[in-house]
Chain A
């Protein structure tokens, strides 16, 4: 999710990449996160092998990928997170009809997680964070309040986590920290290594669930009547106008592709409609690339070689 509108920042870099698009039969936009990198490369390897077409994989953010699919410069984007990017889906898929979402959705989650240490110390529900005694378990600077990573600056989800912290009330007992994901995840690694409790924003599928023993904090179920979220990009008074004392709406992601593919490369469109990665496979991709250090292209070649029946099924 990576819910990152940070793709806006790479417009200049991408311009060069998009210029090369016409030398390939298909351009797959690749997100910056590992499962998106793996699945983009799996699509490339599978399509090149089966259809003998040339596929280019180019890294870009969700917003750039959507505008590229709308204009014809980009053909495929492997992970469109929802509800995070619902406004883009509404604009390009529903209103303009230039982008098609494949029918298969991968179930995903967003919320707050703790390590087993924190869970064993009694932090099991989001409401526990409003208890000053429990919040103090996470105090690392001696001010009596806990500290918690809520995501990277610029992620759409980070705005929402601020709203949720205010709405639940733990914004009063916890200091909310925004840092790049590597800093947040390395903090979890170091906490586990020294058996210290830690609480942090988490999303799945994600390799952290394989790397460590992680528990999700329970919280009231999503209720659309209580989910009043105004984003920072839309209103300077966004935080005071927002309230969301409930869990995230059940999340998911799916493949998106340019609607024009259905007539230009119908076999590719049919293939993309059938791609059906499971959450466990997405986690395995993330772990192989982030933890085992495999390159996305190497991982993709191995994956396609090991799953001939799956790929064959997508081609039929």
Chain B
């Protein structure tokens, strides 16, 4: 019964999106797993890495819900504030007039998540990526770039990076681009927020250094406070 309730709740939202854009896929989430609705089989299927790749290969872009769009967003947060809903894989940039730009995001794997209030401490174009020490220790691919990987199309930070600070301290978390745009909508990164390169360029152009960033706690029983 609980599953039905939840599924129906998600379906209402997903179906609305599906109707609006006429695409062959709607989105939902059950717990931490993103699901998409297949209109051919009328079944919800896990939107995992493999499915995401297939969708991207077929359409050349991510499902509609994860594409950049202006949405109604009633909030008391000031225009220019970023609100990150990792559970739904959305990042909102608050606009005047109770609206927001909504972007699709990829978020951290279980155990890498976090929630709280930080700010954009600095930004960079085509940033250098330096893997954190624990990643170097556990991932041989990352270890190759222990001294830093120059910016460029293969760099995992993508076209732009917003460095998140708490006070004057770098939290080591970033909002960044990605050379793997099909991963938007998935839980794959190392605690960072990833966006496709067009979107992070768009966000970077609109965000001021010092902007408030609110990371929601939904899905955050797993998350650590920053």
Contacts and interface: CB of A to CB of B under 8 A. Distances in A.
B13 A195 contact: yes
Interface in A192-217: 192-198, 207-208, 211-212
Nearest to A139: B31
B78 interface: yes
Contacts of A207: 76
Interface stretch (B87-95, B121-129, B153-161, B191-199): B87-95
Contacts of B30: 142
Contacts of B85: 187, 190, 194
B55 to A, nearest CB: 20
B5 A133 contact: yes
Given A137-B5, A197-B9, A190 B77 contact: no
Contacts of B217: 147, 149, 177, 179, 183-184, 187
B1 A133 contact: yes
Interface string A20-42: 00000000000000000000000
A183 B76 contact: no
Interface residues of B, number: 42
Given A180-B116, A185-B76, A142 B31 contact: yes
Contacts of A134: 2, 5
B220 A211 contact: no
Contacts of B215: 183
Contacts of A133: 1-2, 5
B148 interface: no
Contacts of B222: 141
B150 interface: no
Given A141-B221, A149-B217, A189 B77 contact: yes
B216 A190 contact: yes
Nearest to B218: A140
B6 interface: yes
Given A133-B1, A182-B77, A291-B76, A196 B13 contact: yes
A184 B220 CA distance: 12
A190 B92 contact: yes
Nearest to B76: A290
Given A186-B83, A189-B83, A177 B220 contact: yes
B78 to A, nearest CB: 6
Interface residues of A, number: 42
Contacts of B72: 193
A214 to B, nearest CB: 12
A149 B117 CA distance: 15
A134 B4 CA distance: 11
B220 A194 contact: no
Contacts of A212: 74
B92 to A, nearest CB: 7
A179 B12 CA distance: 29
B75 A186 contact: yes
Which of A145, A185, A189 has the largest number of chain B CB atoms within 10 A? A189
Given A142-B30, A187-B216, A211 B87 contact: no
Which of B1, B30, B72, B220 has the largest number of chain A CB atoms within 10 A? B220
B43 to A, nearest CB: 19
Contacts of A290: 76
B214 A182 contact: yes
B78 A293 contact: yes
Given A136-B2, A137-B6, A195-B12, A147 B115 contact: no
Nearest to A132: B2
Interface string A136-177: 110111110101010000000000000000000000000101
A137 B77 contact: no
Contacts of B16: 195
Interface in A45-92: none
Contacts of B75: 185-186, 189, 211, 291
Contacts of A191: 218
A149 B218 CA distance: 9
Given A190-B218, A193-B71, A142 B32 contact: yes
16 contacts: A132-B2, A137-B5, A140-B219, A142-B31, A142-B33, A182-B117, A183-B215, A189-B77, A190-B92, A193-B102, A195-B9, A196-B9, A196-B13, A208-B76, A212-B74, A291-B75
Q: 9 tightest CB-CB pairs across the interface, nearest first?
A: A142-B31, A290-B76, A136-B2, A133-B2, A189-B75, A140-B219, A140-B218, A142-B32, A190-B85
Interface of B: 1-3, 5-6, 9, 12-13, 16, 30-33, 71-78, 83, 85, 87-88, 90, 92, 100, 102, 115-117, 214-222, 225
Given A137-B2, A193-B74, 18 more contacts: A121-B5, A133-B2, A137-B9, A139-B6, A140-B218, A141-B32, A147-B218, A179-B225, A182-B117, A183-B117, A185-B76, A186-B83, A187-B218, A189-B76, A190-B85, A190-B216, A194-B90, A291-B75
